[in-house]
Structure 1
Amino acid sequence: MFGGPFAGFLWIGSGKWAVISLVAISAAGFAICYVGFPVLPGVDLATPASLFSIVVAVLSAALVVPFAGRFKPGRWYSHGASVLVLAFVTSYLAAFVIRSSLFQPFSMPSGSMEPTLELGDYFFVSKAAYGYGRYSAPFGLLPIEGRIWGGVPKRGDVVVFRSQNNSDIDYVKRIIGLPGDRIQMIGGLLHINGTAVKLENIGEYSSEEVQSAKLQRETLPEVISYSVIDLSDNSVGDNTREFLVPAGEYFMLGENRDNSNDSRFQMGTVPYENLVGKAVRLYWNSRGIDYSSRQTLGSPVSK
């Protein structure tokens, strides 16, 4: 049934129940995504989405039909054309508001953030975490200079952003340098303000994209730890000049240090207004990779 229970209740003349059902179905859909879909190799995201649509259609009939005799479909919104228009507009408006102000889904197209994010991961980004700017809404529909209602990004946050030299592509990296920090890589070891960050070898790592790499635990000055991988010694980004992070900008690094286009290279530092949002939670992997131990992205593991 097009529009689900929302359209059904409009059709029988019950605007109140139409709104209630819309809120309930939307909340249920978000809750399911928040919990995450089971990992089934070879099953793409369209399958659970289709199953959810079927459940909504059956639920529409089960909820609306028993109420049909209680209402008289004489209200302006209960006529066929009105139902179709309202269902269409409301669905897209709700999606626009949610994606622009609350949460937006993203997928991981590369292995630059392994092992935190793997190829095929789908995750939610919180739009409210850092407030709202020019890249908060699709197609640049919010002509905002700077940011409004903005929170302060923290070192260690995993973020989605646009770079200064390519504003058409969404990137995903971890914030390493804050405004005023001095950042440098020496022999593959991260230095912040002249002090080496603690780095421990904790094992070996392999995946579909990475045959073999050293798995390491990096611990920031704030005692926030996360895993990084090292593919080889003396790679291009293992030794850099010292970078001074400008005011209002952030230095980004990928966890896959030898295979990440980040602030060490042409991308440079990222202005505050170029942040899209904070990555907070995984809900799917299209390659059937288990993500249960990596699901929460908003709070890096503290030792």
Structure 2
Amino acid sequence: MASKAKQGNAVVETIKTIVYALLIAGIFRTLFFQPFWIPSGSMKETLLIGDFLFVNKMAYGYSYASCPSIKLRRFGIDIDAEDLCGWMKNDNGRIMGGDPERGDVVVFRHPVSGVDFIKRLIGLPGDRIQVRNGLLYINDEAVKVQDDGVFTELMEAQGPEGNPPRCANGPVGMGGACEKERQIETLPGGVSHKILNIGNEPLDNTGVYVVPEGYYFFMGDNRDNSTDSRVPRTAGGVGFVPYENLIGRADRIIFSSAGRSMLYFWTWRGDRFFKGIE
């Protein structure tokens, strides 16, 4: 009987340990850092498909979007952040809120679908944003750009989704060199970062976007391959993003894999481990 009692106590202690570990992990993820895999090429070459990073949630304070979404569909679990923290929504405010800065790389919650996006913050409340002939204008002033050669990558299926890249020198056969024009763009305030261009695309010429109070305007660094604030939500884009939808700032890449799984060690990009995000 004593042996059975000990076994029973061991099982209870194991369950308690697992529960405590999950609670601690949940609190850590909610308050401090959230893991994020880069699923698409919209932020190349700043971020590549397969980069893994932690999002700093302390940077801008906390809102309903700070709560984690728990999606384990094979087990029938689909808990959204709004299910957990929806009571904080709709005032477009934050607890211990901090102001994001132009040029930050930010993870935010899509205002309609709730999917997590990662883009660069271009427009602050009150800004006038426009793209003319592929050149970004902020408050009617063209940003400074400098040619920086060519970004080259292999034409192949990329990441878990297996999508090939788009190329400026296309069509390119599988295994060929896929090229994009690269420039260094310097935003007001001094943040410089690399942008890529494929060619003359519809979003290279836009109307003027006036960013409302309490909202932000985002763009991808891979300018011709990004669904961002240039496209309104009604047309399947992102539109203006509310302050409360910001999740956090991306500061550093922790790990990177070019393969369809992180287990494919031969595809690891060792030169990107612990790489700072500019």
TM-score, normalising length: structure 1 = 0.69
2:214 is matched with 248
Matches within 5 A, 1:1-303: 79-138=9-68, 139-140=80-81, 141-142=84-85, 143-145=87-89, 146-167=93-114, 169-208=115-154, 209=165, 210=167, 211-232=178-199, 234-266=200-232, 267-287=238-258, 288-292=268-272, 295-297=275-277, 300=278
Q: CA deviation at 1:241?
A: 0.3
Instruction: In structure 1, give the amino acid aligned to 2:22.
Output: Y
Instruction: In structure 2, give the amino acid aligned to 1:102.
Output: F
Going from structure 1 to structure 2, the CA distance change for 1:217 and 1:290 (only over 3 Å counts) comes to farther
More helix by share: 1
1:82-134 CA-to-partner distances (Å, cap 9, x unmatched) read: 42122111110111011110001100110000000001111110111111111
* Bigger radius of gyration among the two: 1
| 8 Å contact kept, 2:255–2:272 | no
2:263 is matched with none
More strand by share: 2
CA distance in 2, matches of 1:293, 1:95: 23
1:73 is matched with none
Is the partner of 2:20 in helix, strand or coil?
helix
Instruction: In structure 2, give the amino acid aligned to 1:150.
Output: G
Structure 2, unaligned stretches of length 5 or more? 1-5, 69-79, 155-164, 168-177, 233-237, 259-267
1:195-227 CA-to-partner distances (Å, cap 9, x unmatched) read: 000011111101243511111000011111000
Question: 4+ runs of 1 displaced by more than 4 Å?
Answer: none
CA distance in 1, matches of 2:190, 2:103: 10
TM-score, normalising length: structure 2 = 0.75
> Over aligned residue pairs, what C-alpha RMSD do you find?
1.8
| 8 Å contact kept, 1:116–1:294 | no
| 8 Å contact kept, 2:256–2:272 | no
Query: Aligned residue pairs: how many?
Result: 220
